[in-house]
Structure 1
Amino acid sequence: MTVHWTQHRFAGGVLALDTANTVVLRGDPRGFDRLEDPSEIVRFAAAASRHRSGELAERRLSVSDAEAIHPLVIEMREAIDSLFRSMVADGRPGPGALPRLLRACAEGLDGHDGIGGAGPFEGPGQGVAFEAALAVSALSLLSGERAGRLRVCPNCRWLFMDRSRNGSRLWCDMAVCGNRQKAKRHYRRRRATGEERRHE
């Protein structure tokens, strides 16, 4: 199945969370994996290069061999989700979650020395390996300030970064999840009002 990597698919706010969110309805029998086909990594990286251009300092994400890096990308994604979801729920990493993430990030960075400078992606504008960029993005979330801004959307269960001034953002994407919840509440209110009238 070819995925349409629309802007909504990047509601996480940073590359690491967008990647974690490529599993839809995580933990639900109806859930599915948008990166099950390794070739989708190439298309996801191309879309992320556009939607995460600020985070990447305008550098383009490159994928040398999607089949070869697929197991690593999936491991990195699952380590990211496990660690940061537990931090949102419990305020701290779950057992073994941090070492797992650090091992995966170390593997993602192995052999990629073109990340550095004043910021992780600053420097010459050549491409940067997707797995290396994913590692840098994940590691950047370990700082206390950024970790404190992590949220889980109550509608779709995606992870996202709350960048609102007062830290009160509820939905990953107001235009999608926020509106869906509003519509559900409106439907429940109308249904409850209709049932009350029938019982008068």
Structure 2
Amino acid sequence: MGTAATRTEWTFELSGGRLALDFVNTQGGMRGVSPKEHLHAYADLVAFARQAGALDDRRARALMAEARRRPADADAALRDALAVREALYRIFLARTRGGAPAADDVARISSAVGRALAHRRLDPRDAGFALGWDEPGDALDAPLWPVMASAAEVLTSGADLARVRVCGLYDSDECSWLFVDETRSGTRRWCSMKDCGNKAKARRHYRRTRGGEDG
């Protein structure tokens, strides 16, 4: 997997509405059919966390320096992050399809949430406090800490969890991205209008046009 990026940094699309769902969507395409992986190396995991606002630049640089010192551990951290991501995906997908998540997946995410929240701390802010995070130090799983906090918030929020959707192109085996539907009507169908939404719109137009020609 490697820790050094040998290509231009991928720009992640953050359209899931919650950090945990954006993390799940770091694999594009259709899982099991035509997946498009965007976390190829530990550097990609750090890049996602930085772009999503889960890590600041200073912490991202510190983690990359640690990864260069411990490349095997960084690769292991990436493998664990991918396993957590897929378990999280299956849990959310099960909810969107009206099913129950697998016990093994719930156990994995519960464990990951526990490890992450152990790094929560109080930071003094003006006249009060804010919740922050420990310094990463040598903890190569630090990019996952805010992700797992977000996952816990969504999974334990009845309102958010009820509005988690899978892209409308899931049933045609084209997209498995997840998102929180925050429209007032609760009728959002596409993970992204500029991609899947436009694709579906173009297909409807084509069918109408063909129907008119045939008629």
Q: Could you tell me which of 145, 153, 163 is aligned with 1:132?
A: 145
Q: Which residues in structure 2 correspond to 1:3-14 (within 5 Å)?
A: 3-6=9-12, 9-14=13-18
CA distance in 2, matches of 1:103, 1:124: 20
Structure 2 residue 137 is matched with structure 1 residue 141: no
Shift of 1:115: 6.4
Counterpart of 1:23 in structure 2 is: 27
Unaligned 5+ residue runs, structure 1?
A: 50-55
Shift of 1:101: 1.3
Does the CA-based 8 Å contact 1:60-1:126 persist in structure 2?
no
Does the CA-based 8 Å contact 1:109-1:132 persist in structure 2?
yes
Shift of 1:166: 2.5
TM-score of the two chains, using structure 2 as the length reference? 0.72
Shift of 1:145: 1.4
CA distance in 1, matches of 2:193, 2:210: 24
CA distance in 2, matches of 1:168, 1:39: 36
Does the CA-based 8 Å contact 1:2-1:40 persist in structure 2?
no
CA distance in 1, matches of 2:193, 2:143: 28
Counterpart of 2:71 in structure 1 is: none
Does the CA-based 8 Å contact 2:91-2:105 persist in structure 1?
yes
Does the CA-based 8 Å contact 2:26-2:39 persist in structure 1?
yes
Secondary structure of the structure 1 residue equivalent to 2:121: coil
CA distance in 2, matches of 1:104, 1:184: 41
Backbone CA RMSD of aligned residues: 3.0
Alpha-carbon spacing, 1:116–1:15, altered in 2? closer, same or farther (3 Å) = farther
CA distance in 2, matches of 1:124, 1:25: 34
Counterpart of 1:113 in structure 2 is: 120
The amino acid that maps onto 1:172 is: C
Unaligned 5+ residue runs, structure 2?
A: 1-6, 68-73, 137-141, 170-174
Shift of 1:114: 2.7
CA distance in 2, matches of 1:97, 1:115: 30
Q: Could you tell me which of 156, 179, 183 is aligned with 2:202?
A: 183
CA distance in 2, matches of 1:70, 1:101: 16
CA distance in 1, matches of 2:158, 2:50: 30
Structure 2 residue 56 is matched with structure 1 residue 60: yes
Shift of 1:161: 0.5
Does the CA-based 8 Å contact 2:16-2:180 persist in structure 1?
yes
